[in-house]
């Protein structure tokens, strides 16, 4: 049997094509190249990274290297250094530059704020081309393990900003928390924030930021029960934003011996400020506000408890009888509860919206831990590059799906992608007088299928 014959490794070969011809015209690496070249990296705050006395590498070349790496499941600076010597796409993208792994690593470490601004650029692109609906968003968090090598799993000597947190059930790990906000229309990320805290007080900040990014408060925000906090609901109310936050189950210690006499079955009369129990007794307050750890509350009780025939079913207290506490935020908690009851089908969409990015990042790409060390800013840079890679991949996939609507245009899908990025970002370059290049919405005409 005859086989295809290999060329001799010792034979001299003269290539008849240039490096550019080795990269297909519709290769994703070309979109990365155009996207980064269209950014004003100096205005975004990128710092040049010198390489051992030689002239520094241009920030654009290192940013391209990282975006390509994250889009192809490569985050390690040593891996990227290796690929620059053998991967034809990473030979083409930075123009045959071969930065060492220390230079690559320092670029990511020193530019967390600038990386966040690049992520904002991806959001601005899709906003201005109507790929974000801004009517329904979902927020959630995910735990990302800290990159620790210490023998004691309770202590991280390499990253003092990470914290020991519950990841699921009763399992705890040293990790960071990545808060994200996702738009419902195309599952695109519009915001992220890396913290070392739980979800309890996170909704306040993320809603304020969402309002600023979307430049409207005319949207509904979906969150799980971990965000169910009275003060956060007041913030949402003050911002004019409707929330649908899952209602947590009542703790065992807060339940009546007979659940039919739980507090939720006591009717509150707002005008006269009193409660009516299931037995018809009136519970009143002395008007005093008592202080708990994070809020103030009133107490409501009645002397009728003494002779009530169902007292043993209503309360286990032997002295004071039933006491109902009403938080200063109770009215906002009740408004959220009513919205959840009225719009159950809307709330059911939460998981499908917000888990889409996590499924891609953690399951498909394997990015379930923070690769950097030395603090929360470095961790933020790592997750920021993950978020940039995710949004750019989503943009490319969306355009491919919509490509069937562009058949009347004498252009390839790839050219459409480049036009989208170049047209928008060249418009930003012409607005140098603005202190924030992404602070205002710009309408830039584009092909009608976007």
pLDDT for 66-107, tens place per residue? 999 999 999 999 999 999 999 999 999 999 999 999 999 999
Paired tokens of 12:
């001299």
Same structural domain, 369 and 257:
no
- List phi, psi (to 5°) of 27: -70, 135
Count the Cβ atoms, other than its own, within 10 Å of residue 194.
24
Q: How far apart are CA 191 and CA 196, in angstroms?
A: 17
pLDDT for 363-383, tens place per residue? 999 999 999 987 899 999 999
Same structural domain, 29 and 95:
yes
Same structural domain, 37 and 91:
yes
pLDDT for 278-294, tens place per residue? 999 999 999 999 998 88
- Residue 159 is predicted with a pLDDT of 55
The yes-or-no verdict on residue 406 having pLDDT over 50 is: no
The yes-or-no verdict on residue 425 having pLDDT over 60 is: no
pLDDT for 321-331, tens place per residue? 899 999 999 99
State the DSSP code for 447.
-
Does residue 145 contact residue 382 with C-beta atoms inside 8 Å?
A: no
**For 315, what's the count of Cα atoms within 13 Å in the CB-facing half-sphere?**
19
pLDDT for 188-233, tens place per residue? 999 999 998 888 899 999 999 999 999 999 999 999 999 999 999 9
Work out the mean pLDDT of the chain and round it to a whole number. Answer: 84
Nearest to 229 by CA among 217, 247, 211: 247
Q: Is 398 left (phi over 0), alpha (psi -120 to 50) or beta?
A: alpha
Q: For the chain, what is the domain count?
A: 3
Question: Do the domain assignments include residue 408?
Answer: yes
Nearest to 392 by CA among 74, 41, 23, 68: 68
Residues in Cβ contact with 101 at an 8 Å cutoff, skipping those fewer than 6 apart: 77, 78, 80, 81
Question: Do the domain assignments include residue 123?
Answer: no
Question: Do the domain assignments include residue 286?
Answer: yes
Same structural domain, 150 and 73:
no
- Residue 11 is predicted with a pLDDT of 75
Same structural domain, 369 and 385:
no
Burial pattern 128-149, b for ≥16 Cβ within 10 A else e, equals: bbebbebebbbbbbbbbebbbe
The reported pTM is 0.82
Domain that holds residue 44: 20-115+381-429
CATH number at residue 167: 3.30.420
Same structural domain, 227 and 158:
yes
Average confidence (pLDDT) over 152-178: 60
């Amino acid at each position: 049997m005859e086989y295809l014959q290999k060329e001799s490794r010792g034979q001299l070969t003269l290539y008849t094509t240039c490096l550019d011809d080795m990269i297909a015209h519709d290769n994703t690496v070309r979109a990365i190249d155009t996207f980064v070249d269209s950014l004003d990296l100096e205005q975004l705050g990128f710092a040049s990274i010198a390489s051992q006395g030689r002239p520094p590498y241009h920030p654009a070349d290192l940013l391209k290297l990282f975006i390509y790496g994250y889009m192809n499941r490569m985050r390690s600076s040593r891996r990227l250094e290796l690929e620059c010597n053998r991967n034809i796409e990473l030979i083409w993208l930075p123009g045959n530059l071969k930065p060492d792994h220390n230079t690559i690593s320092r670029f990511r470490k020193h530019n967390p704020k600038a990386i966040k601004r690049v992520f904002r650029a991806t959001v601005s692109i899709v906003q201005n081309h109507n790929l974000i609906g801004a009517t329904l968003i979902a927020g959630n968090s995910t735990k990302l393990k800290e990159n620790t090598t210490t023998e004691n799993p309770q202590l991280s000597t390499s990253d003092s900003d990470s914290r020991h947190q519950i990841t699921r059930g009763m399992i705890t790990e040293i990790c960071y928390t990545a808060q994200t906000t996702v738009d419902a229309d195309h599952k695109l990320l519009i915001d992220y924030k890396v913290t070392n805290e739980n979800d309890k007080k996170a909704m306040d900040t993320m809603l304020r930021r969402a309002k600023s990014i979307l430049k409207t408060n005319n949207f509904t925000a979906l969150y799980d029960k971990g965000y169910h906090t009275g003060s956060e609901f007041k913030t949402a109310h003050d911002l004019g934003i409707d929330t649908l936050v899952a209602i947590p189950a009542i703790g065992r210690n807060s339940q009546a011996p007979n659940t039919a006499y739980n507090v939720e079955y006591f009717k509150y009369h707002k005008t006269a400020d009193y409660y009516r129990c299931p037995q018809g007794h009136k519970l009143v307050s002395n008007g005093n506000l008592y202080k708990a750890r994070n809020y103030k509350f009133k107490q409501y009780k009645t002397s009728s408890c003494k002779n009530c025939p169902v007292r043993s079913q209503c309360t286990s207290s032997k002295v004071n009888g039933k006491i109902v506490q009403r938080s200063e935020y109770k009215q906002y908690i009740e408004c959220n509860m009513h919205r959840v009851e009225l719009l159950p089908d809307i709330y059911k969409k939460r998981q499908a919206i917000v888990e889409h990015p996590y499924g891609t990042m953690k399951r498909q790409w394997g990015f379930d831990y923070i690769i950097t060390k030395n603090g929360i800013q470095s961790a933020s840079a790592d997750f920021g590059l993950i978020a940039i890679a995710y949004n750019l991949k989503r943009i490319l996939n969306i355009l491919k799906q919509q490509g069937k609507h562009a058949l009347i245009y004498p252009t390839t899908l790839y050219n459409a992608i480049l036009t989208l990025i170049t047209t928008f970002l060249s418009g930003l370059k012409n607005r140098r007088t603005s202190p924030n290049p992404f602070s205002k919405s710009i309408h830039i005409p584009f092909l009608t299928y976007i």
